[in-house]
Chain A
């Protein structure tokens, strides 16, 4: 009986959490690697209370590269105008991981780039397929996410970044 009751409570509490639709946050204790091979926890993702974009990509994913190359062209303006920071998470595994830094630098990206070679962070963020882009507010809440990329998506993203930077709510 007791077990039944407790299970009901748990199920109910889970449901409440789910329905209360409180915004989810970015997990802090997942390990990713820097481009020079050091392990760091995701708690280092930080931008002084300004918005952060987290974008999952891979060297073998054309739409991902289209998206990040398109943003790269306007990134300087975005940073100047809103203080936003883009963190690019490469999910390349040991097959391609040594090509990530050459691609990032060769393309002249100014993003903060981390490696997630066995998909730990990808799983923790519930990413099905790449590209998958998250927008994070100054308190670490995930306020928006988008799967896939079509040309022009970066404009919608930037509208939201500007709203966040102006202290507006995103719903």
Chain B
């Protein structure tokens, strides 16, 4: 069977093949083919009120389709992508169509081999993570080989080599990595039944890029390593991770030779009805790319998680989101979630759920070395103190309450301090202090019919002033939805117009197929998903989005 499956992959490996098409066909049909696709298109109107410019193509579209074929131990797949031309806000480098992702994986109990493209991550990603955020056009997938081997229960070792995707091409640098993890309770007999569970991990990554710089002598190979451990004791979990990167002069750090470091620690405790977590990290000069001259989100090798609450309500999520600062930051967050029991004073008939979140970030404490003409180490940093510039602070409370079988509400309050000079790259702009409130009510009108409303307010004296958002959504389960929204910048001053950003949409869902059509205005701004952000210009027009899995 295996032989046949391998033969079947002849088209990728160029193995020649003789005439047993019949049985080959049968073998292939024993496998499964499935996939998914998404197509987004927008027809653009000019709209001088919000600053939306005319688009010469009038219509822009992004689309992709994945196909995965699996047959016993073999999995093969590819993704076709097409950007004709990329929609506004997407990196223009995507212009065109192609197959940037294709792979074959063979797996058995101990071994997994992938040839072609793959996504992977070592630990939290501090020195290596290849991943995609489709909605933002972020994709640094590897193209090369990966081998994962499990010599015994509770142990694995992984090796990989490849180049990273840059739109429809590959970056110039080669990335090589090794990663291993041991679960002590599995390999030490004495520990099998212990309540304390310990996992230890280590990884090593190195990139190679030729030095073509005329001004400096640059390291062509840049190595980094990462050590981590996770300890679980009953309901308590603690993990700590340290990463070090050797000197890596780049456009990001102004070609200084200082090594980079990151330290991350997280702890959590939870039992039924109560959960608590706290996390913190310190990052110093940790931008790591497979092309030292790139910027934006291109060819990043590593990933620095943002320890702030990830919001979904429009005004909270999109106006002033935190963005990680790989060159230097120190921060963290604490989150508490608990349930007030049913039939108590504050619990009511159904109980009440409360979530509290606090997060804050500062710069690191540095002293300049004035050595840009000699050693070019750039600066010294003090490990144990904060810098004097606040980047971010948020206090957030969310109360979820069910009033009756038909009525549910979620109430959110947030207070944000936002350093737009650093986080949005607007030098000289003042700190933003904002209070935000959201009332989200779902009313189940009848079986299958529900109406949901959101009322949001963002109150600030800085930047564009205060905003209000109202949304009404009517859903008829499981197929139909229609929604109208208006985001109103009523607090605009300094001669800026008080603009309404209205948007209406409706859609139809059948199983894993979904079609959505919308019309309205989109605000210019920085949009973030999962800590990755991109700048989106203002737009006005009709959008259509189709997704499907099969």
B516 to chain A, nearest CB (A): 10
- Report the separation of the CA atoms of residues A18 and B156 in the bound assembly, to the nearest whole angstrom: 36
A151: which of B134, B197, B268, B444 is its contact (CB, 8 Å)? Answer: B444
> Which of A44-52, A81-89, A98-106, A161-169 forms part of the interface with chain B?
A98-106
B306 CB-CB contact with A under 8 Å: yes
Contact B70 A102 (CB under 8 A): no
A99 to B272, CA, bound (A): 14
Q: List the B side residues contacting A6 at CB < 8 Å.
A: 10-11, 17, 21, 24
Contact in complex: A13, B28 (CB < 8 Å): yes
A-side contacts of B448, CB under 8 Å: 152, 155
Is B415 an interface position by the 8 A CB rule?
A: no
Asked whether any CB of chain A lies closer than 8 Å to the CB of B151, the reply is no
Taking a contact as CB atoms under 8 Å apart, the answer to whether A132 and B549 are in contact is yes
B475 interface neighbour in A20, A22, A127, A151, Cβ under 8 Å: A151
Q: Is B339 within 8 A of A107, CB to CB?
A: yes
In the complex the two chains form, is A102's CB within 8 Å of B276's CB?
yes
Nearest CB of B to A153, in Å = 5
Q: Which of A16, A96, A98 has the most CB of B within 10 A?
A: A98
With A27-B75, A59-B310: A150-B481 Cβ-Cβ less than 8 Å = yes
**Bound complex: CA of A137 vs CA of B70, how far in Å?**
19
B541 interfacial by beta-carbon distance below 8 Å: no
In this assembly, does B61 line the interface, its C-beta being within 8 Å of a C-beta of chain A?
no
Q: Is the CB of B509 within 8 A of A147?
A: yes
Chain B residues with CB below 8 A from A124, complex form? 68, 75
Q: Which A residues touch B17, using CB under 8 A? A: 2, 6
Taking a contact as CB atoms closer than 8 A, the residue among A93, A118, A128 that contacts B36 in the complex is A128
- State the Cβ distance, A61 to closest chain B Cβ, in Å: 7
Report Cα–Cα, A147/B508, bound state, in Å: 11
A5-20 interface code vs B (CB 8 A; 1 in, 0 out): 1110110111011101
| Contact indicator A147/B33 (Cβ below 8 Å) | no
Task: Determine whether the beta carbon of A144 is less than 8 Å from that of B120.
Answer: no
Q: Once the chains bind, are B509 and A151 in contact (CB under 8 Å)?
A: no
Give the interface segment out of B124-132, B248-256, B368-376. Answer: B124-132
Across the interface, which residues of B come within 8 angstroms of A102, CB to CB? 268-270, 275-277, 335, 337
Contact A24-B306, Cβ < 8 Å, known A39-B156, A108-B339? no
* Inter-subunit contact A98/B237 (CB<8 Å): yes
Say yes or no: A14 contacts B32, CB within 8 Å: no
In the bound complex, residues from chain A placing their C-beta under 8 Å from that of B197 are: 36-38
> Quick check: B119 and A93 within 8 Å, CB to CB?
no
CB of B274 within 8 Å of the partner chain: yes
When distances are taken between beta carbons in the complex, the residues of chain B under 8 Å from A127 are 36, 549
Cross-interface CB contact of A24 among B34, B181, B183, B450, cutoff 8 Å = B34
B interface: dominant SS: strand
Q: In the assembly, what is the distance between CA of A96 and CA of B33, in Å?
A: 33
Cβ–Cβ contact A118 & B274, under 8 A: no
B237, B447, B475: the one contacting A36 at CB < 8 Å is: B237
Q: Are A24 and B32 in contact (CB under 8 A)?
A: yes
Min Cβ gap A137→B in Å is 15
Complex contacts, B232 vs chain A, CB 8 Å: 36-37
Residues of chain B contacted by A7 (CB below 8 angstroms): 11
Q: B531 contacts the other chain (Cβ, under 8 Å)?
A: yes
Pick the residue among A93, A108, A147 that contacts B272 (CB under 8 A).
A108
Q: Which residue of A lies closest to B107 (CB)?
A: A29
Closest to B181 in A: A39
Contacts of A128 in B (CB 8 A): 36, 38, 134, 547, 549
Write the chain A residue with the least CB distance to B71: A17
| Contact across chains for A60 and B310 when beta carbons are under 8 A apart | yes
Minimal Cβ-Cβ distance residue in B for A105: B270
Q: Does B426 make an interface contact (CB < 8 A)?
A: no
| A106 and B270 in contact, given A126-B549, A128-B38, A146-B511 (Cβ under 8 angstroms) | yes
Task: Judge whether A94 and B29 touch: CB under 8 Å.
Answer: no
Query: In the assembled complex, how far is the CB of residue A91 from the closest CB belonging to chain B, in whole angstroms?
Result: 10
Residue of A nearest to B550 (CB): A126
Q: Give chain B residues whose Cβ lies under 8 Å from the Cβ of A104.
A: 270, 275
- With A102-B268, A128-B547 as contacts: A147 and B239 at CB distance below 8 Å: no
Q: Note all chain B residues with C-beta closer than 8 A to A69.
A: 400
Within 8 A of B (CB), among A104-122: 104-108, 117-120
**B530 in the interface (beta carbon within 8 A):** yes
Residues of B28-79 whose CB lies within 8 A of A: 28-29, 31-36, 38, 66, 68-70, 73, 75
Pair A93/B530 contact, Cβ less than 8 Å: yes
Task: Say yes or no: A117-B121 contact (C-beta < 8 A), given A16-B29, A128-B549, A151-B444.
Answer: yes
Considering residues B70, B273, B338, B478, which has the most beta carbons from chain A within 10 angstroms of its beta carbon? B478
Residues of chain B contacted by A101 (CB below 8 angstroms): 237, 268, 270, 275, 277
Least Cβ distance of A29 to chain B in Å? 5
Q: Which of A98, A144, A150 contacts B279 (CB 8 A)?
A: A98
Within the complex, the shortest CB–CB distance from A36 to chain B, in Å, comes to 4
In the complex the two chains form, is B25's CB within 8 Å of A13's CB?
yes
The residue from A22, A36, A132 contacting B512, defined by CB atoms under 8 A apart: A132
Cβ of B303 within 8 Å of any chain A Cβ, yes or no, is yes
Please, which residues of chain A bring their CB within 8 A of the CB of B338?
Answer: 106
A124 and B452 CA atoms in complex are apart in Å by: 33
A123 to chain B, nearest CB (A): 7
* A-side contacts of B3, CB under 8 Å: none
The complex places the Cα of A20 from the Cα of B32 at a distance, in Å, of: 10
Contact surface of A with B, Cβ cutoff 8 Å? 2, 5-7, 9-10, 12-14, 16-18, 20, 22, 24-25, 27, 29, 36-39, 59-62, 66, 69, 93-96, 98-99, 101-108, 117-120, 123-124, 126-129, 132, 144-148, 150-153, 155-156
Besides the contacts A98-B239, A106-B337, A128-B38, what 4 more A-B pairs have beta carbons closer than 8 Å? A13-B29, A59-B310, A107-B337, A128-B36
5 closest A-B pairs by CB: A102-B275, A152-B477, A106-B275, A106-B337, A13-B28
CB<8 Å pairs between A and B, sample of 24 = A9-B25, A10-B8, A13-B25, A13-B28, A14-B33, A27-B70, A36-B197, A69-B400, A95-B310, A99-B268, A102-B277, A105-B271, A105-B275, A106-B273, A106-B274, A106-B338, A118-B121, A118-B129, A120-B119, A126-B550, A132-B549, A150-B477, A150-B478, A152-B450
